[in-house]
Structure 1
Amino acid sequence: MTGATEPASGSEVSAFIASKLREVPDFPELGVQFKDLTPLLADAHGLAVVTDALAQAARGAELVAGIDARGFLLGAAVAIRLGTGVLAVRKGGKLPPPVRSETYVLEYGTAALEIPADGIELTGRSVFIIDDVLATGGTVAATAKLLDHAGATVTGAAVVLELAALQGRAAISGLRVTSLHTI
């Protein structure tokens, strides 16, 4: 494995992520094999490797948007690496008004994502989305719509882990997506 300051190949990054994943059976419900990235993020070298790989995907963006909640951690690290700011895309009801909101469908209902409606000018700015996992694609798709409605130009998205069987890319087919590890 190359050092975090040296470019690592995609296969090296993927293998490293796989070695740090913790599988939790029957969480959050019976039959689900939860993929826990906490050991990866708690490892200084692992966090550096992932940050460098995500930053490589986000090059050229003026702003990084990290999705609630692990996307905040990753988005902030990427923004520091790129010398940009970070925008926290929050779950509904977590920000004071006024907010811009985008509702999206979950398996058993709906949810909303929000960003501040004032104080941050997004019109014409290139924004790159960062999240931890791409599953069904609903969260990334809603974030892209939210940013688009705010006037930003979404240049792509990157995730640490993609669960390919859930076909999340179908929900975001018009967006360039980088996945560091796919299972």
Structure 2
Amino acid sequence: MDLKELIRDIPNFPKPGIVFRDITTLLNNPKGLQYTINLLTNKCREANLLPDHVIGMESRGFIFGAPLAYQLNSGFIPVRKPGKLPSSVYQVQYDLEYGTDTLEIHQDALQNFHSVVIVDDLLATGGTAQATIELLKKVGCNVLGFAFIIELESLEGRKKLPDVPIISLVKY
């Protein structure tokens, strides 16, 4: 199955000159969604990415991270935007193209030396993934690798990430 055929291109969104890679058309396709989760699972197993927990970044990382965790017999832990988690959190602020954003994780979500795989729909500049690593350093766990549906290679986000396996199912 060619996942690119299931990902819709939206030109000039969110601003002129940008081509937005819309995964809602992939999510809407039952066979495409199942194929995507199975492919992520198989690639994680092939790369020996067998974590204690899968970390999913808000919000599309939840869509792919939870079923991946289920398939890998791992727990799932969400990394959220501020004010969404009810218990004590660690927080990290990071730069965006036009400002800053913040991510949080429960302080008791992981214990030292747990292994994790970080999952999101898109690797672009690497800022969100890098911020998630900073959060996980506060928790004290071991990042085994990353899994993304899409990678925008020209933005070189991979260069901001540690030297661990990085799975990208579709590259533009």
TM-score, with length taken from structure 2: 0.92
The answer to whether the 8 Å contact 1:124/1:153 transfers is: yes
CA distance in 1, matches of 2:114, 2:26: 31
Matched, 1:77 2:67: yes
Note the aligned Cα RMSD (angstroms).
1.4
Question: What's 1:39 paired with?
Answer: 25
Question: What's 1:64 paired with?
Answer: 54
Matched, 1:144 2:144: no
CA distance in 2, matches of 1:103, 1:122: 22
The answer to whether the 8 Å contact 1:65/1:88 transfers is: yes
Shift in Å at residue 97 of structure 1? 4.2
Question: What's 2:148 paired with?
Answer: 159
Shift in Å at residue 151 of structure 1? 1.0
Question: What's 1:133 paired with?
Answer: 122
Question: What's 1:180 paired with?
Answer: 169
Question: What's 1:9 paired with?
Answer: none
Matched, 1:103 2:93: yes
Q: Which amino acid aligns with 1:35?
A: R
Shift in Å at residue 56 of structure 1? 2.6
Percentage of pairs with the same residue: 41
CA distance in 2, matches of 1:61, 1:173: 17
The answer to whether the 8 Å contact 1:148/1:154 transfers is: no
Q: Which runs of 4+ in 1 moved over 6 A?
A: none
| Cα deviation code 1:137-178 (max 9, x no counterpart) | 011111122112201111000100000111111111433211
Of 138, 155, 168, 2:157 maps to 168
Question: What's 1:91 paired with?
Answer: 81
Question: What's 2:14 paired with?
Answer: 28
